[in-house]
Each structure stands twice: as C-alpha cells, then as structure tokens.
Amino acid sequence: MSKYVKDLISTELRQRLEGVANAVVVDVIGIDANQNMVLRRTLREKGIHLMVVKNSLARRATEGTPLAPALHEAEGTLAVAWGGEDIVTLAKEVARIAADSRFSPFAARGGVMDGVAMTAEDVEAVSKWPSREEQLSLLVGQILGPGSQLGAQLLHPSGLLASQIEKKGKEPDT
C-alpha cells in the first residue's frame, strides 16, 4: 500500500474516531459472516459502532488522541468498538456478547477510558460497575433520602396531635 493511500485511510479513520474518548478493542477474527451481521446489528441497536482496522493504520490515525493508549501495543487484526451511553454500558455489552456462545471468538482485548489504557481484565471489571443511569438513580436516592426522612419526622408528631384532636372531638361530653 502506498504512503498516499495510507494517509487517505488514516485521515478517514481519524475523522470517524474524532471526539471518541472511550473505546474497547475486541477480537472478531473467526466469526462467520452471518454471525458477524447479527453481532453488528445487535451493537447498532445499542448505539455502538464496530470497526475492523489494521493495527498499524489505527495507531497512525489515533496518534495524539485519547484512543492512542489502547492501540499502542496492539498486534494482529483488531476491531474498535465505541459508542453507547458511556464506557460502562459499552463494557457491559462487550462482556455480554463475549459470554454468548454464538460469537465464541469475540472477546475484549483491552480498551481506553479517558485516555488511560485498559486490559481485558479491566474491561471485565468496568462491565460490573453500575451504568450512568443506575449511578444517577443512586445519587437521587441519596439526595432525596434525608429530605423525606426529615419530612416524615416533622409530620409524625403533628399527625399524632391531629388524630388525638379528632378522637377527642368525636367523644361525647359527659
């Protein structure tokens, strides 16, 4: 491949990966064509992109970007997966697919999160974290918890008093 063609491909890859800070590098070699289509459709439905790329061209295209650490020492053919809601959602989906026997050679090889390289074990660990949506619900629960507890504590004595007054109002005078 001539230097001119390599530059064109690198520029195209750089444009496609522009703005991507989190990605997972996966191994897709050995998946037959039909399963590859099913895999890509499954990922697409989740908003995840998958691109098979030659590692030397990927290194060239990501040089100086947050994705560079993931591809720095990559060998062989690889695929880069990015997208989804966040890196946790991406890692969860990659781990789920890797566990599915239909896509048996599919496996995480590493990745990058906020410019820091991750190993395959790191990707597996991140897949066990709560997703962004789950983290937000936990945070909202922690924020609202003390307020609702305070409200209940303030209303409880007044509720007791109101019930005593109501009870006293219903009793006949003797």
Distance CA 8, CA 158 (A): 75
Residue 130: strand, helix, or coil: coil
Nearest to 101 by CA among 54, 17, 156, 39: 39
Distance CA 111, CA 120 (A): 7
Residue 45: predicted pLDDT: 93
Mean pLDDT across 27-32 = 87
pLDDT level of residue 136 (50, 70, 90 thresholds): confident
User: Model's pTM, two decimal places?
Assistant: 0.71
Mean pLDDT across 27-41 = 89
Residue 41: predicted pLDDT: 93
Mean pLDDT of the chain: 84
Distance CA 94, CA 91 (A): 5
